[in-house]
Amino acid sequence: MGDVKAEIITPAGVFTQRFSSTRHGARLARHLAVQQLDTWGVPYDSDPSDTAAVIVGELAANAVTHGRVPGRDFELRLTLDGRTIRVEVGDTRDDRLPDRDAAPPAPDAESGRGLLLVGLLATRWGVRERAVGKTVWAEFPSEPDPDPAAQGSPRRPAPLPAKGRTRRTRS
């Protein structure tokens, strides 16, 4: 009989860090995530880096705002596996799960758009319960979309005009 060999596939990079459940902790998580991606070869100011900054910022802000338990931290786990970046943010509050089917906020509402942004930028996202609390995760490509026509697609809004420039329309 031939030998059976099991192949264990491990991610190219894993970064895990706990942060204080404060606005400062959320901001630090976003900065360290982008720095870690650059270390792994995903350059600053690239589409994947900018996407990571928004997603980490939104999920960390939600953990601090809605998942905070006094004296408990939140955890960021960042994984680069081939062509996929996975962001996971865990907090210790399990009684407030995000509602994937929630109606969009009113146009004049000052909050409630974070997970809508995550849904637009990520190829997949979801919530996983854990022993204590929950983890909200999102995945997206680690390389920019090579198809320039993809700009303005439902997944990624078209870029805004450069600062100081406005779009003019003829009447």
Question: Which domains does the chain show, CATH number per domain?
Answer: 13-98+111-144 (3.30.565.10)
- Nearest-angstrom CA–CA distance, 7 and 46: 33
Mean pLDDT value of segment 86-90: 96
- Nearest-angstrom CA–CA distance, 94 and 126: 14
Residue 34 tokens read as 């982008």
Mean pLDDT value of segment 104-125: 80
Q: Which residue has the higher pLDDT, 131 or 96?
A: 131
Model confidence at 109, pLDDT cuts 50, 70, 90, reads: low
- Nearest-angstrom CA–CA distance, 169 and 4: 66
Asked if pLDDT for residue 47 goes beyond 70, the answer is: yes
Three-state DSSP at 103 gives: coil
Three-state DSSP at 24 gives: helix
Model confidence at 170, pLDDT cuts 50, 70, 90, reads: very low
How much is the pLDDT for 7?
Answer: 47
% of the chain residues with pLDDT over 70: 69
The mean-pLDDT minimum among 1-15, 18-32, 64-78 falls in 1-15
Asked if pLDDT for residue 160 goes beyond 50, the answer is: no
Mean pLDDT value of segment 67-90: 90
Q: Which residue has the higher pLDDT, 126 or 146?
A: 126
